[in-house]
Structure 1
């Protein structure tokens, strides 16, 4: 683990923040290329992009606020914003909602899912490298590719030292790279507006639910983690989007 890339005086340059920033930059480059490839240049897309970035940033930070059912047991919102953890799942939800708001404000009438799908997959693959370098790997495993931490590294993230652990973030990086390759390979076949992004989100939700079992996150209810409960809460929305998008295509 290498949570700090370098120090400039008293300021630590965190690997997590660096790779998240790189992921956003890569996503922006992929998005611009996809816009040009599809000849979809439109100034109103800047509203959509701005909405996605702002919405994702806000909910990624505040999405982990509700740690307890009793709101009095949760941190104040300002404290959560300043010092709280970030959640990629709530960040994706925030980006989706922000993009919808950006469309409304900018008056952009078209679906953007197929534009954003390869960009999000590429950005996620890069951003998760920061998680791999800074966060606990996963649960103990007997598989040969388990990651072993020395005593100092293990103490920093509260996991056993010298025990092989699931490299859960490697699994996620590989998933997003495979998803990016699949999106690029299939984007000429899957042409229904927004359909590719729906498939990607559904696949990621299923993958993330499964990989949570080896992430080592806190189990809070019925053997499930907060991320798994969050995904279950969003399941009706995901299924509704699938049904609505298929019916819309059949009607056109």
Structure 2
């Protein structure tokens, strides 16, 4: 855990810096993908900007809902933003919703737009995990495993490291898949399914999750809904692609 990086007289908030680097690199990758697919760079820049705003709002609301009792006692605390009080997965869902709405209203190619965004989002999520690691957020349950880490006064699952490794694996898979896609939407739908599966599995080891029913966490329920949406989308897009082939 290294929340503050001291560089001479300057104290840098390392989690925030990592998120900024992630946004920058993700945006660069998205611009390259847009050029490769010959999509409008200006519209794509507008989409990225709006999606970032939507994602930030969604991430903040997701965190507030997770600790609603605390914020009901101090409502003005909702406006106090810092990288440690954001829920990345909920932010990702919100950013995708905003991107979809903008793409439709701007008459951008729907699936092509989402697939251009996918590698950049996957890269950004690696930096989200690194930000969690440096801040100590998204910490794990207490554990006596050999690779457990000392955090917040106990030996715990290194869930932040699990998150970085899982996000890196998903990113590598996305880079390989993006060049060979059987039908429109395949890359994006595969990604959201993998990201949701990653969140569902890691959430079971988290020590700071909101439990809503027995041992079921709120983020796990949202992840299941995203996985189902991914599978349904893959099924219908595959059938649509097959139907188009038959009519040719």
Normalized per residue, the structure richer in helix is 2
Note the C-alpha offset of 1:193. 2.1
What is the distance in 2 between the residues matched to 1:98 and 1:224?
28
Q: Which residue of 2 aligns with 1:251?
A: 243
Partner of 2:29: 30
Corresponding position of 1:86: 86
Q: Distance in 2 between matches of 1:123 and 1:69?
A: 27
Question: How many Å separate the matches in 1 of 2:220 and 2:180?
Answer: 32
How far 1:244 moved relative to its partner? 3.2
Segments of 4+ moved more than 6 angstroms: none
| 1:139 lines up with 2:138 in the alignment | no
Matches of 2:63 and 2:40, distance apart in 1: 36
Gaps of 5+ in 2: none
The 8 Å contact of residues 141 and 207 in structure 2, kept in 1 or not, is answered as yes
- What's 2:126 paired with? 125
8 Å Cα contact 1:113/1:193 also seen in 2: no
- In the TM superposition, residue 233 of structure 1 has moved relative to its aligned partner by 4.7
CA distance in 2, matches of 1:12, 1:106: 42
1:179–1:216: structure 2 CA closer, same or farther, 3 Å change rule? same
1:93-132 aligned within 5 A: 93-111=93-111, 112-132=113-133
Verify: 1:166 aligned to 2:154, yes or no.
Answer: no
CA distance, structure 2, for counterparts of residue 201 and residue 98 of structure 1: 15
Task: Indicate how the Cα distance of structure 1 residues 105 and 12 shifts in structure 2: closer, same or farther if over 3 A, else same.
Answer: farther
2:167 aligned residue: 176
Cα distance, 1:135 vs structure 2? 2.0
Indicate how the Cα distance of structure 1 residues 103 and 207 shifts in structure 2: closer, same or farther if over 3 A, else same. Answer: same
Q: Tell me which residue corresponds to 2:3.
A: 3
Partner of 2:188: 197
Structure 1, unaligned runs of 5 or more: none
Shift of the alpha carbon at 1:147? 1.4
How many angstroms apart in 2 are the aligned matches of 1:82 and 1:69?
14
Query: How far apart in 2 are the matches of 1:238 and 1:59?
Result: 20
The alignment partner of 1:6 has SS state of strand
| Cα separation, partners in 2 of 1:174 and 1:235, compared to 1, 3 Å | closer
- 1:75 and 1:189, CA in 2 relative to 1: closer, same or farther beyond 3 A? farther
Number of equivalences: 239
The one-character-per-residue Cα deviations of 1:192-220 (angstroms, maximum 9, x if unpaired) are 22211111110111121111121212434
Report the TM-score when normalising by structure 2.
Answer: 0.83
How large is the RMSD of aligned CA atoms in angstroms? 2.8
- Any idea what the Cα deviations from partners look like across 1:17-53, whole Å, max 9, x if unmatched? 1111111011011112222233334432233222311
Aligned 1:221-240 pairs, distance under 5 A: 221-240=213-232
Query: Structure 1 residues 101, 51: closer, same or farther in 2, change over 3 A?
Result: farther
Segment of structure 1 superposing worse, 231-240 or 189-198: 231-240
- Secondary structure of the equivalent of 1:65? helix
Counterparts of 2:217 and 2:184 in 1: how far apart (Å)? 33
